[in-house]
Structure 1
């Protein structure tokens, strides 16, 4: 297994200045979500740079020596904001060119937190594979990154019910010269190299299909993974259909294309890819109140209007309508 050095140029160019590791975007999500029409009426603004030049910059999470440990809803209400972890993966959770946090998961979380009496959401960006450790370490209060529920993760954190379910796809060269349509096809071609996101489910799906360690190239960000395909460092990369499409649209390269969606099979069972919100195990009361509001949103058909601007359709939201966390975690 190889790990290609991650290029953050595109991310830095499109957002605020980030340091390596976890960084916080204080008070930005409310601004991003309340200003759908771009009229400048926001409830929160970017923190000014220490240099006093008015430039909005990100700051290191926990830089004041404080953490979000013990993130009870009562404490969150008292402080007036909630910290959410995300991995800068569009369309699930990402930073805008203005450094605001948005995407499917942060937007839904904002609506729910407002119902719970919290009007401000601060974003903390970390590599996807660090989301659960950072949550457990108290760097933020919850994960809002479209993270799939699976058995391994259920043993580490608490999940809400899912708000979407979605198939996988591969990004490949135009014409799909190696004929790669799923992870089994990659496994069947020992010369094929597959890009996957560190800590994401795709690595597990691929290895379960028989993709070898030597065939895998691990990336920290979807942007660099798609650029790896463009540069010929991998023959394909695996993500959800929406994520693959988002990356290919971003690159605008006619030499790349997306395969049809597919559902991975592990040990003879189809793997339901459903995204939800993550909480520390000691924060069950917080999770339960959040989940109660989410169930109401789902039941009233109010999730789709929130996530539709990010490319989601009724297919993804209706697929999760009757699915609960217990259905997946057991």
Structure 2
């Protein structure tokens, strides 16, 4: 009898241990941090109006606004902003220095290999920032090639890969930390055009009378790309819960009122685009 009890006890212990181990494996690093009472660390670069730090260090920008609102709906209010360089966002989440990336990243196949994305929070296109009057008539990457011009873009932006794919030589592409440095390069004449997304191009144009943005429709139609919120690949369960709440919040009156100040309008709302499709696109 004692032998039977011992065997049963060991068997139950093995099953319980395996169940706990499996649950832990499924939980992911973010769930572990929440269980320990630690804050959710939002990683973002200074890229208004997408994401930036307020004067008090708080997380501002419409991607942060959307993310924080969805997290609150999930019951999470302990949030810690983590400002970093754009190029350091994906390495930070891989190394678990941040838990969520809210910088306004386009969902691209190369990024999907290293970071998991939420469903799209919006769909956006690109544009150039050029000297006022656009004296060189820049509107496409082909113009950069034909006139042997120099373009500048923040490191890690999709516009760098897009330019190379279009045939722009690497020697004609300047990389800088962010949009502020991009504007400085164009204003100083070190670059003929700054390539960025249309929202940031509009903001840069509003910042300086010395520059203007080009027509976003001059860019290829496939340059309109979904943007998502990034998660660690092991945080599947949390990301799925986030997506469920995001679906309820996205496009709501509450959301649109909140993000209006950052120039996010209904025209940017997803129209059937999915993360799965975006991750498969070339």
Q: How would you bin the TM-score normalised by the shorter chain?
A: 0.7 to 0.9
TM-score of the superposed pair, with normalisation by structure 2: 0.84
Please say if 1:245 is aligned against 2:205: no
Of 92-101 and 209-218, the range deviating more from structure 2: 92-101
Distance in 2 between the 1:154 and 1:271 partners? 17
Structure 2 residue matching 1:262: 3-state secondary structure: helix
Write the mapping of 1:128-207 to structure 2, written as runs, cut at 5 A: 128-190=86-148, 192-207=149-164
Q: Counterpart of 1:329?
A: 279
Q: Structure 2: 5+ residue runs without aligned partners?
A: 1-27
Give deviations 1:124-159, integer Å, cap 9, x for gaps: 111111111111001110101111001111111110
Q: Counterpart of 1:306?
A: 258
Distance in 2 between the 1:264 and 1:157 partners? 27
Q: Which has the higher contact order (CA 8 A, sep 6+)?
A: 2
* Higher-helix-fraction structure: 2
Write the mapping of 1:1-330 to structure 2, written as runs, cut at 5 A: 70-73=28-31, 75-76=33-34, 78-79=36-37, 81-190=39-148, 192-250=149-207, 252=208, 254-262=209-217, 264-265=219-220, 270-298=222-250, 300=252, 302-317=254-269, 320-330=270-280
Q: What displacement does 1:72 show?
A: 2.6
Structure 1 residue matching 2:89: 3-state secondary structure: helix
Structure 1 residue matching 2:114: 3-state secondary structure: coil
TM-score of the superposed pair, with normalisation by structure 1: 0.73
Q: What displacement does 1:175 show?
A: 1.3
2:30–2:40 CA contact under 8 A, matched in 1 = no
Give deviations 1:182-222, integer Å, cap 9, x for gaps: 222212221x1100111110101111111111111100111
1:77–1:118 CA contact under 8 A, matched in 2 = no
1:159–1:276 CA contact under 8 A, matched in 2 = yes
Distance in 2 between the 1:287 and 1:325 partners? 12
Count of aligned positions: 254
Aligned-residue Cα RMSD (Å) equals 1.9
Q: Structure 1: 5+ residue runs without aligned partners?
A: 1-69
Q: Closer, same or farther in 2 for the Cα pair 1:313/1:99, shift >3 Å?
A: same
When Rg is computed on C-alpha atoms for both structures, the one with the higher figure is 2
1:162–1:276 CA contact under 8 A, matched in 2 = yes
Q: Closer, same or farther in 2 for the Cα pair 1:302/1:184, shift >3 Å?
A: farther
Structure 1 residue matching 2:235: 3-state secondary structure: helix
Q: What displacement does 1:107 show?
A: 0.8
Which 4+ stretches in 1 moved above 6 angstroms?
none
Give deviations 1:30-83, integer Å, cap 9, x for gaps: xxxxxxxxxxxxxxxxxxxxxxxxxxxxxxxxxxxxxxxx53336326525210
Distance in 2 between the 1:258 and 1:198 partners? 19
